[in-house]
Amino acid sequence: MGVPAEVHRIALLIKSMRVRGAGRIARTAAYAMKVAAQKYSGNDLNEFKSYMRGVAQLLGSTRPTAVSLHNALRYVLNRVERAQSIEEAVVAAVSAADSFIEASLNAVGVISEIGSKLIEDGDTVLTHCNSSAALAVLKAAHSSGKRIRVYATETRPKFQGLLSYRELAENGIPVTLIPDSAVRFVMREVDKVVVGADTVTANGAVINKVGTSLIALAAHEARVRFYVATETYKFSPATVLGELVTIEERGPEEVVPLDLLTSHPNLKVRNPAFDVTPPDYIDAIITERGVIPPKAAAVILLEDYGATLAEELATITIDIED
């Protein structure tokens, strides 16, 4: 059977960036897997498995580089693959999706509690883009009675910083919006930087909204501590096997009106969505399993995916010349 219209609709929401943020994308994808399982009208285990693989492929193609999305799909799919009967498989898909969503939401709560301890009374904190984990840390610090001030970067081209601004302001946290170019200008006033992550690689590098690495560099220069708040399902198992993370480049229309480019043939817009912050500039990664140094990312990955990675490693064959 084909992919249900409802799932197509959700896929479009992710693709068009109406659903943003790695955590939200992952939960939405898990939810779409659940919807797909519930809408399945057939009665054949193998057909169901290949149907779910098709759904996962469609959802995965919306944001090919979003690790959280692929880990969510993998989480549900792994449990479907293990099922012995069609009934069991459908139940497994639904409950896996539910438990993924629940764990994801709980993770943010745990991260906020752990992370808030790293924030001190009177701190000025800078954040970039719109990360639910990073904002949860700031909100938890605020509600525990610590007086904090926040600088939120506007985050061109899509102004996600405005969403962060509003969320913090609604929670009564004093916040000031700044252009992305002003990061070094304000860094002297900043005590800590807290950002989210899109992907964490095996060597502890963090892929996040473009500009993050520039902020980390400016923080490093000013000896300002730089924290990444992120759920462990954003850690990329593929990078353990040497896979490079592809940085998505988005369309020019996000930056300038397209007619500007048609009237200037030598002019192009380059619009990378993410950049890579090296582990050297990161003081710690705050996860739901604790605060870890960035270079310990591999430990988490081996804990979570050790078995699968070993299987995949075993399939790599090497020709040895005589």
Partner 1 sequence: MLEVLEKILENVGRFKIYSSTDVAFAVADAVVKCFGDAEDLSEAARSVLALVEGLANTRPTSVISFNVAKRLVEKAEALMKAGEPKERVAEALAAEAAALKRELESSIAVAAALGARRVRDGSTVMTCSYSKSVKALFSRLKSEGKRVQAIVTESRPGGEGIAMAQELSDLGFETELIVDSAVRFFMKDVDAVVVGAEAIAANGAVINKVGTSLIALAAHEARVRTFVIATTHKFSTETVFGELVRLPVVEGTALLPGLERVKGVSAKCPLFDVTPPRYIDAIVTERGVVAPEAALLLVREVYGWPTAPDAVSCARRLVEVAERGRSS
Q: Which residues bind partner 1 (CB under 8 A)?
A: 153-157, 159, 162, 165, 175-186, 209-211, 213-214, 217-218, 221, 247, 255-256, 260, 264-272, 275
CA-based nearest residue to 248, from 61, 23, 11, 50? 61
**Least distance to partner 1, CB of residue 4, Å:** 37
Q: Please say which residue, 2 or 265, places its beta carbon nearer to partner 1.
A: 265
3-state per-residue secondary structure call for 61-112: HHCCCCHHHHHHHHHHHHHHHHCCCHHHHHHHHHHHHHHHHHHHHHHHHHHH
Between vectors from CA 257 to CA 251 and to CA 259, what angle results, nearest 5°? 105
* Active-site option among 44, 98, 129, 283: 129
Any residues with CB less than 8 A from the CB of 258 and at least 6 apart, and which?
Answer: 252
Q: Please say which residue, 223 or 268, places its beta carbon nearer to partner 1.
A: 268
Between vectors from CA 242 to CA 237 and to CA 243, what angle results, nearest 5°? 70
**Least distance to partner 1, CB of residue 294, Å:** 17
**Least distance to partner 1, CB of residue 166, Å:** 8
Rounded CA gap, 106 and 91, in Å? 22
- The residue written with tokens 């399982």 in the block is 37
**Least distance to partner 1, CB of residue 124, Å:** 12
Q: Please say which residue, 20 or 27, places its beta carbon nearer to partner 1.
A: 20
CA-based nearest residue to 287, from 225, 232, 233? 232
If DSSP codes are grouped into helix, strand and coil, which group holds residue 211? coil
**Least distance to partner 1, CB of residue 134, Å:** 16
Active site annotation includes 129:
yes
Residues paired with 149 in a beta bridge: 124
Rounded CA gap, 8 and 220, in Å? 43
Active site annotation includes 123:
no
Q: Please say which residue, 94 or 186, places its beta carbon nearer to partner 1.
A: 186
Q: Please say which residue, 182 or 310, places its beta carbon nearer to partner 1.
A: 182
Rounded CA gap, 307 and 281, in Å? 31
Rounded CA gap, 194 and 134, in Å? 6
**Least distance to partner 1, CB of residue 161, Å:** 10
* Active-site option among 198, 280, 304, 322: 198
Q: Please say which residue, 268 or 321, places its beta carbon nearer to partner 1.
A: 268
Pairing of β 225-229 and β 192-195: parallel
Any residues with CB less than 8 A from the CB of 140 and at least 6 apart, and which?
Answer: 112, 113, 115, 116
Active centre residues (catalytic):
129, 198
